[in-house]
Amino acid sequence: MYQTLMQVKKEFLNTSNAGELLIRHILVTACYAACFLIFYALSKNFFTHQGWSTWFMPNGIRVAAMLILPIRYWPTLLFTEFSCNRFITVYYGTFELPPFFTTFAKVIVMYSAYSLVALPAKLLLKKVSMNNVKYCILLITALIGQSMVAATNLTYFVEFYRNVPAERKIEIWLSFVTGGVIGGLLVAPLILGCYQLITTQKIHLLNKTTLYLSSYALLLFAIYRYLQIDPGSLYVVVALALMPVLLFAYSFGWTGALFATALTNLFLAVSVYGHSGTLTMQQIQLFVIVLNISALLFGAVISNQKALSKSLQTSNTELQKLANRFINVQENERKSVSQELHDEIGQIVTGLKVELKVMAETSTDEQVKRQLPRIMNATTSIYDSVYRLMHKLRPRLLDEHGLHNTLTTGELVSALQNADINYRHLIDTDLNTLPQNIQIAIFRICQEAFTNVIKHSNASECQLSIRLVDENVNLVIEDNGQSDSKKTASNGGFGLSGIRDRVSALNGKFDFNTSNHGASLIISLPIQLR
């Protein structure tokens, strides 16, 4: 509990540097008062009912200030807005100046209500995040909630509106709510978006959209000039304005949506300026609300989708690197084991055969002489098994004579010929210039594919084609086996699934097709020549 109280004290009464804190509060007061009064004066030029409601833009100033500034500045905003309202009452002479303390008490109640609807956006997502759908929903909720609070106060507790007939109070209340929401949507998202770009140092994101936004602004200016000739066309423009805003949102995310909407809002505000209190002003309100909310949410959704796509792409790249690294480690282990078999077991078996030959020539024991041929045959079988295992792990020909000789004259070719399969090859590139990981991948793919052809295809012909096309090595293995005998994997190997995984690790393309005329394995691997 004590730590909680200390945190609250630090938030509201941060007095580590009283002079600096005082200056900051004075600056907040001056800036907020200037913006509040300027946008109030601007809002008086946009109303639907004479003396009833306006597009109340200070609502957006208030919401933006509350979401940007720390909570300890909210009492300062309260007092500043109270002072501004007193000044407006005197300056415009609309009402009699009410008692100070009574009015201030009402303002405290109202500002408490304002704070309640703004706190979710402030606390759940502490940073301004216009690219977050949840934040945009909370922002819209705050704008609507504060508009309802202000509308309720004006309609039922302000002396000027108490004489309005009861049957019209709902109409006035809805007008105030609508005006507050529109005013907030016109100002708050733009301020918050600019603040986010500046604080996150991502103002460069506007570089991509500047040219398109400039073209869009010129188009809106041309339409505005045309509307001065034919004002009746405004409804057609309004109907079509949603499409370019959504297009900007789809192309550039929340930044495109935000600034395209700002240009559209400016165009609409200029177009209806001087038409306050008319049917045009009333009918355009719904479009302004739909446009701004749709653009706000759609831009956030697209930004989230792009961020997820980028994250997924990064994850895929990391997985490909990890898979490639795993394959390299596996090949190195195979090479090491093959070398150990060759150096250790191969030498031991060879030495054993020499000793047996010496024993056969020098021994006088007839029983030993009878058993020595069987031992020699067993030793030869051990050596052949070790040799085949060494070749399967890492053929000596691949290291000593290169990939080209391995695929044209090595053990793989001999295995096909021993199975009575006619083997043809078409290799129009120097395989030894390929990166080592690509060479190993090609060898392993051919090793597994040839094993499948021998064991499962009942084929009489097999053809290998390797070509280099646009920094990609294209590998095609075809046979004329029966489609109903094709297998997707071979015993003792990693099968087609292993081939697919190896190709995927190298960011390649894999395709396997079967028909009555045989099967074809088509693979493309991206490479960079040495």
Neighbours of 374 (CB within 10 A): 9
Q: Is the pLDDT of residue 246 over 80?
A: yes
Q: What percent of the chain has pLDDT over 90?
A: 24
Q: Is the pLDDT of residue 35 over 60?
A: yes
**Window from 26-35, 41-50, 301-310 with minimum mean pLDDT:** 41-50
Average pLDDT over residues 340-349: 73
Q: What percent of the chain has pLDDT over 70?
A: 86
| Residues whose CB falls within 8 Å of the CB of residue 276, separated by 6 or more in sequence, listed in order | 45, 46, 47, 48
Distances (CA, A) of 186 to 60, 137, 319: 7, 16, 45
Question: Residue 7 has what pLDDT?
Answer: 55
**Pairing of the two strands 422-427 and 53-54:** unpaired
The two three-digit tokens of residue 335, written as one number: 């090479």
The superfamily CATH assigns to domain 401-526 is Histidine kinase-like ATPase, C-terminal domain (3.30.565.10)
Q: Is the pLDDT of residue 63 over 50?
A: yes
Distances (CA, A) of 497 to 244, 477, 485, 493: 46, 16, 17, 10
Question: Residue 5 has what pLDDT?
Answer: 52
Average pLDDT over residues 273-301: 82
Tell me what the pLDDT averaged over the chain comes to. Answer: 81
Q: What is the pLDDT of residues 89-130, one digit of tens each?
A: 877 765 567 778 888 888 899 899 999 999 888 888 888 999
The domains of the chain are located at 11-192, 328-393, 401-526
Q: Is the pLDDT of residue 430 over 80?
A: yes
Q: Is the pLDDT of residue 148 over 90?
A: yes
For 119-159, give the DSSP string: HHHHHHS-S--TT-HHHHHHHHHHHHHHHHHHHHHHHHH-G
Quick one: 267 exposed, middle or buried, by C-beta within 10 A (0-12, 13-18, 19+)? buried
The helix-helix angle for 411-418 and 436-456 (nearest 10°) equals 10
Distances (CA, A) of 481 to 55, 216, 332, 442, 456: 77, 62, 34, 22, 8
Q: What is the pLDDT of residues 455-481, one digit of tens each?
A: 877 888 999 999 988 888 999 999 988
pTM as predicted: 0.68
Q: What is the pLDDT of residues 369-380, one digit of tens each?
A: 777 788 888 887
Q: Is the pLDDT of residue 229 over 80?
A: no
Q: Is the pLDDT of residue 353 over 90?
A: no
Average pLDDT over residues 434-450: 86
The two three-digit tokens of residue 14, written as one number: 């941060």
- Rounded CA-CA distance 251/267 in Å is 21
CB 225 within 8 A of CB 234: no
Question: Residue 397 has what pLDDT?
Answer: 66
- Rounded CA-CA distance 404/408 in Å is 6
Question: Residue 491 has what pLDDT?
Answer: 40
Q: Is the pLDDT of residue 287 over 50?
A: yes
CB 408 within 8 A of CB 501: no
| Residues whose CB falls within 8 Å of the CB of residue 234, separated by 6 or more in sequence, listed in order | 227, 271, 272, 280, 284
Angle CA(82)–CA(86)–CA(90) in degrees, nearest 5? 170
Q: Is the pLDDT of residue 66 over 50?
A: yes
- Rounded CA-CA distance 263/286 in Å is 18
Place of tokens 């789809």: 250
Question: Residue 342 has what pLDDT?
Answer: 67
Question: Residue 12 has what pLDDT?
Answer: 52
Residue predicted with more confidence, 346 or 195: 195
Confidence of residue 503 (pLDDT cuts 50, 70, 90): confident
Q: What is the pLDDT of residues 389-421, one digit of tens each?
A: 776 676 666 777 788 888 888 778 888 888 888
Q: What is the pLDDT of residues 167-193, one digit of tens each?
A: 788 888 888 899 899 999 999 999 999
Question: Residue 262 has what pLDDT?
Answer: 92
